[in-house]
Structure 1
Amino acid sequence: MFTRSLQLDQSIKYSDKSWIKVITGVRRSGKSILLRQVKDSLRRSGVSMDQLHVVRFNQLHRQLLIDWPSLAASIEKKLAAKKENYLFLDELDQVDAVVPLLQDLLSRGNVNLFVTAATRSLIGRLSPLRAQLVVIPVLPLGFSEFCRYQGHPADHQALYRYLNTGGFPFAQGVHDAHSLGNYLDEVFNTILVGGFTKHGTLCNPFLTRQLAIFLATQLGEAVNASKAVSGLRTAGVSVSNKTLATYLTFLQDTFLFYPCYELDLARNRTKPTNVKYYPVDPSLRNYLTNQKGALSQANLEALIFIELVRRGYLVHSSKRFTFIADRGQQRSYIQFRYSLRSQHDYDQVLAATLPASAHKQLIVMQAGDMVVTAPDLPLIRLTDWLVTPQVNPVDHVAHGLVEDDVGPALGGEDKLL
C-alpha cells in the first residue's frame, strides 16, 4: 500500500464530478491500489460507504459486458439516491461500448467517475468525451519511490538494485531472483492473455514474446522495420512488415514498451523511422533477455527516458542530444554520459551548442576529476537527478487528451499529443 503521492493528489484535485478521471498504465503498476487510496481519502473527508461503488470488469460475465444497457442498469441499482455517488470502474478497457455506458451513467447527474485502463487505445475510444477527460498515468515505481519504499539511500548500490528489482509494487516484497522471474512471467502472460482477448487479430504469443525480446536486446539503438524483421528471422520467426507493425502496436498499447522518435530540430518534426523503444520497467528488460541489469550507458539511458515520461514529458531523441523533452511550454535539452573522464569528453558535449536561454542539462553517472562546468550547462549526477524534486513542477495530467492511435509503428507518421 505504498502511497503514490503525486497521482493521489491529482486524483483528489480533479475529484469534482465534472471530470472523468482515467488512470492508465501497464498491468500491475498500482492502478487498483490507487483507486483504493482515493476511496480511503474520500472516506476520511466524510463520504459514506453507500456513496462508494467499485466495479471490476475483469470479474464480470462476458455476456454482461456486451450488453451495456444491462450493465448500466445493474450499476444504477446500487447508487444512493439524492447523494453524489463515486463510481470506480476498474479495467474499463474490457468493455466494448464504453462511451454509451459512461454517457448513461453521467446522465444521472449524481455520478462521479474514476476509471482505470491498461491500454492506451481506450483514450482514443473515449474521444466523444474528450472535454471531460483527465488522464492520470501510473507507471511502476521510479527510483526515488523505490528508495523510499525500501529505505535505501539514493546511491549507486541502490541504483543497481533498482535496475534488477524494478518498480512493480508487488516485486518490492520479492527477495530472490527465481521468485521475481516467476512474477514477471505472470505479469507478461497476463498482459498477453488480456490483450489477445481484446485484439481479435492477434493470435501468436510466440511472435509477441520474440518481438519483445528483440526490442529489449536493442536498448538504446534505433530500430526500423527491416532491422526488426531480420532480427526476428534470426530467432526463427518469419513475419511481414504489416504483421510486425500490428504486434508492435500491441506492445505499445499495453504500455510494455514506449517509443522514442527522433526529432529533426531544423524542422521541429519527428522522423517516422528508426525509433528507439524502451521497456516500461528495467526488470522487464532483464526478464526478456535473461540477463542482470548492469549500470551501463544503455540501461541508464532507458531509466532516464522512462523517468521523463513519468514526470509528464513528451520525449524525443536527437542526433545532437540524448533526449529532447517537452512539457507544456518548456523544452529541455538533455545530454547523458556515463562518465566524463577528460576535458575532451566534456568539450564534445559542449559541441552541441544552443542559445544561452535554452534549458540544458548534462547528466552523468560518474563526473570524473577533470571537468570544468560551463555556466549554462549544469552538470548533475544521475542519482541526484533521479531523486531531486522538480523546480516549479507542473501538473502533468492531460486534459481532454485523445490519442487517435498509439503512435507510429515502424514507419507510420507520428501523432503528437
Structure 2
Amino acid sequence: MVVERRRSLEKLEKFKDKSVIKIITGVRRSGKSTLLRQFAQRLRAQGVEDASILFIQLDRLENEHLREYHALYQEIMKHRRAGCMQYIFLDEVQLVPEFQRTVLSLFEQERLDLYLTGSNASLLSGELATLLSGRYVEIAMLPLSFAEYCELANTAPAQAWNTYVRCGGFPYLSQIEGEDEKRDYLQGIYHTVLLKDIIERHNVQDPYVLESILRFLMDNVGNLVTSKKIADSLTSFGRKTSPMTVEKYLRTLEEAFILYRVSRFDIQGKQHLRFAGKYYVVDTGLRWLLLGDRGRDLGHVLENIVYLELLRRGNHVFIGKFGDGEIDFVAEKGGARTYYQVSASILDPMTYERELAPLKKIKDNYPKFILTLDTLPMEDEGIRQINLLDFLLANVL
C-alpha cells in the first residue's frame, strides 16, 4: 500500500511544464522516489504517453554505468522525441560526479521537463545553484506526517499515535510488524545515511566524534545549544573536541537532512539572534533508535513532531524570544505569523501559567495556540488550546 503525498504532488503539478528544474530533497527513505512515481502516474492519467516519460534510478545496480555525466546525458538524448514534451526523472542524481554538467545541458533543451531527487543538501550548492539561480524550485520531503501515517497504516488515530510518536514516520515502517523488526529497519536507514551521505562523502576522519555529537543533540532535542556547549560536553566525557570541529560536523548532519537547526527570533526587537539555537531530528524514530525509551522526554518529542509538521505546511519556523520568556515556535507564511506553545498537558495549574505566560505578553493580533494532548477545550485571552492529534490531522492552523 502507498499513501499519496498530496502536498508535494500539488507543488509538482504547479510547476509542471514550466521552465524550472524541480529538485526534490530529503533524507533517504523519506519517499522521494515514490513521489516521482506517483507524479509520473498522474502524467499518464493526463494522457502523457509512456514513451515521453524517462525514469532513471541512479542508485540501482543496473544503472551504475550511467553514474558518469557523459553516459547519463547520452542515455537521455537517445530517448528524445521530436515535437512533444518529455518528462525526465533522475533519482538520486548526486551519485553522478559532476552531474551539474548533464543537468545544465538538459536544461537548455526545448520541450523537456526535468525532475531531480537527492539525499544531500549539497545538491543545491556550487555550480548548479549559481548557474540556475531563479530557475529551479526545491521541494523538501520529510517522512510521513501523522495524517499520512494513519492513512498508510489504515488504523484509527488513537491506535496509531503511540507507534508514530515512538517509531516515527518513515513510510515503509508502517508496514513492518514487531518492535525488533522496526528497529532493524531504522538501523539500516541510520547506517546508510551515516556511511554513504556523511562519512564517505565528507571523508570524516573521526566517525566516533560525529556520532557522539549526533547522540548529544538527539538527547537535547528542543534545548538551546551552542557549538561550545557541545564541545565542552564531549570533552568532559573524555573526547576532546573543539567548537570548530563541532560546527563542521553539524553542517554535515544538516546537509544529510538528519538534523534541522532552528534559530531564535526576538519578537520585541524584531530581529534574528545569532547565538544559540535548537535542533530537531528529521524523524523521532531515529531518536528512539539511538536513545531507546530513556530518551522519550515526551514534551520535547512532541515539539519535534510539531516543528516538522509546520515545515510540511510551508512555514518558516523560529524559536520566539520575548523578554525572559520563550515561545516554542513562531511560524511565518505568506506575510502572516502564528505563535505556538507545545506541552504534553497543561492541566496542572503551574504548567498552565508557565506555558501561557509568554503568549499573554505578546500584544499583537496574530493567532496564538497551545497544542497539548489534553482533550478539554480552553481559551484564555484569545489563546486557543488545540488537541495535538486534532492539529496534526486538520491540515489547518
Asked if Structure 1 and Structure 2 have the same fold, meaning a TM-score greater than 0.5 normalized by the shorter chain, the answer is yes
Once the two structures are TM-superposed, the CA of residue 73 in structure 1 deviates from its matched residue by: 2.2
Inter-partner Cα distance in structure 1 for 2:177 and 2:348 = 40
Describe the superposition over 1:275-307 as per-residue Cα deviations: whole angstroms up to 9, x where unpaired.
211111110110011227747211111111111
Query: Are the equivalent residues in 2 in contact too, given 1:17–1:111 (CA < 8 A)?
Result: no
Normalising by the residue count of structure 1, what TM-score does the alignment of the two structures yield? 0.86
Inter-partner Cα distance in structure 2 for 1:34 and 1:303 = 22
**1:195-274 counterparts in 2 under 5 A?**
195-196=197-198, 199-274=201-276
Once the two structures are TM-superposed, the CA of residue 236 in structure 1 deviates from its matched residue by: 4.5
Once the two structures are TM-superposed, the CA of residue 105 in structure 1 deviates from its matched residue by: 0.9
Tell whether 2:358 aligns with 1:358: no
Tell whether 2:20 aligns with 1:14: no
Tell whether 2:9 aligns with 1:3: no
Equivalent position amino acid for 1:34 in 2: L
List alignment gaps of at least 5 residues for structure 2.
none
Once the two structures are TM-superposed, the CA of residue 356 in structure 1 deviates from its matched residue by: 4.9
Equivalent position amino acid for 1:206 in 2: Y
Equivalent position amino acid for 2:308 in 1: I
**Could you tell me which residue of structure 1 aligns to residue 145 of structure 2?**
142
Query: Are the equivalent residues in 2 in contact too, given 1:39–1:52 (CA < 8 A)?
Result: yes
Name the structure, 1 or 2, with higher relative contact order (CA <8 Å, separation 6+).
1
Inter-partner Cα distance in structure 2 for 1:97 and 1:273 = 36
Change (3 A) 1:100 1:384: same
**Could you tell me which residue of structure 1 aligns to residue 43 of structure 2?**
42
Query: Are the equivalent residues in 2 in contact too, given 1:212–1:288 (CA < 8 A)?
Result: no
Inter-partner Cα distance in structure 1 for 2:348 and 2:250 = 41
Describe the superposition over 1:163-191 as per-residue Cα deviations: whole angstroms up to 9, x where unpaired.
12210011111111111111111101111
Change (3 A) 1:104 1:23: same
Equivalent position amino acid for 2:270 in 1: N
Describe the superposition over 1:295-354 as per-residue Cα deviations: whole angstroms up to 9, x where unpaired.
721111111111111211111112431111112211111122222225564444145322
**Could you tell me which residue of structure 1 aligns to residue 154 of structure 2?**
151
Inter-partner Cα distance in structure 1 for 2:389 and 2:306 = 11
**SS at structure 1 position matched to 2:331:** strand
Once the two structures are TM-superposed, the CA of residue 59 in structure 1 deviates from its matched residue by: 3.9
Once the two structures are TM-superposed, the CA of residue 119 in structure 1 deviates from its matched residue by: 1.4
Query: Are the equivalent residues in 1 in contact too, given 2:222–2:303 (CA < 8 A)?
Result: yes
Tell whether 2:285 aligns with 1:277: no
**SS at structure 2 position matched to 1:141:** coil
Equivalent position amino acid for 2:362 in 1: L
**Could you tell me which residue of structure 2 aligns to residue 326 of structure 1?**
332
Inter-partner Cα distance in structure 2 for 1:345 and 1:76 = 63
Describe the superposition over 1:61-91 as per-residue Cα deviations: whole angstroms up to 9, x where unpaired.
878645x334312321122233221100111
**Could you tell me which residue of structure 1 aligns to residue 180 of structure 2?**
178
Equivalent position amino acid for 1:335 in 2: Q
Once the two structures are TM-superposed, the CA of residue 254 in structure 1 deviates from its matched residue by: 0.7
Inter-partner Cα distance in structure 2 for 1:354 and 1:64 = 56
**1:347-386 counterparts in 2 under 5 A?**
347-348=353-354, 349-352=356-359, 353-366=361-374, 373-374=379-380, 376-386=382-392
Once the two structures are TM-superposed, the CA of residue 253 in structure 1 deviates from its matched residue by: 0.5
Query: Are the equivalent residues in 2 in contact too, given 1:91–1:118 (CA < 8 A)?
Result: yes
- Could you say what the CA RMSD is over the residues aligned between the two structures, in angstroms? 2.4
Change (3 A) 1:323 1:176: same
Bigger shift: 107-116 or 226-235?
226-235
Change (3 A) 1:18 1:219: same
